């Protein structure tokens, strides 16, 4: 492996933890809405208030559980990681066309005094 263009790299698939947290929070809110609609209503509090309060409590719980699942999946993906040979490919891009100098072509800004003349 004396070629500087080739090197050994570790490749693994890892979960996006932010997506797991968001989906867990949404799942917690949905569980709250279902729980409020399944249980008999309380005449002293409005249903929407009960649902909002329960969603505010269960959304972080759902995010916490989903985050734990994501961390477990991340650890599993570390164990399944593979070491492969990668080759560096030089970038192939064309330089951008030169930008014309718009300052000379743009009209001079006018002020209120210039418009009166």
111 or 63, which is more confident: 63
pTM: 0.64
Nearest Cα residue to 77 out of 16, 25, 22, 19? 16
Residue 51 CB-density burial (10 A; 0-12 exposed, 13-18 middle, 19+ buried): middle
Lowest-confidence segment of 12-26, 59-73, 76-90, 91-105 by average pLDDT: 91-105
Looking at the chain, how many residues does it have? Answer: 117
Distances in Å between the Cα of 24 and the Cα atoms of 7, 74, 89, 92 are 38, 16, 40, 42
Decide if pLDDT at 101 tops 80: no
List, for residues 37-70, the tens digit of each pLDDT value: 999 988 999 999 999 999 999 999 999 999 999 9
CA gap 10, 64 in Å, rounded:
29
**Residues 12-41, mean pLDDT to the nearest whole number:** 93
């Amino acid at each position: 492996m004396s070629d500087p263009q080739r090197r050994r790299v570790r490749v693994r698939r890892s979960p996006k933890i932010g997506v797991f947290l968001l989906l867990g929070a949404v799942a917690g809110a949905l569980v709250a809405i279902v729980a409020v609609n399944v249980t008999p209503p309380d005449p002293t509090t409005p249903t929407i208030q009960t649902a909002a309060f329960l969603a505010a409590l269960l959304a972080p719980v759902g995010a916490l559980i989903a985050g734990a699942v994501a961390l477990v999946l991340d650890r599993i993906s570390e164990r399944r990681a593979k070491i492969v040979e990668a080759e560096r490919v030089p970038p192939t891009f064309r330089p951008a066309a030169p930008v014309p100098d718009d300052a000379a072509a743009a009209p001079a800004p006018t002020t209120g005094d210039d418009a009166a003349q």
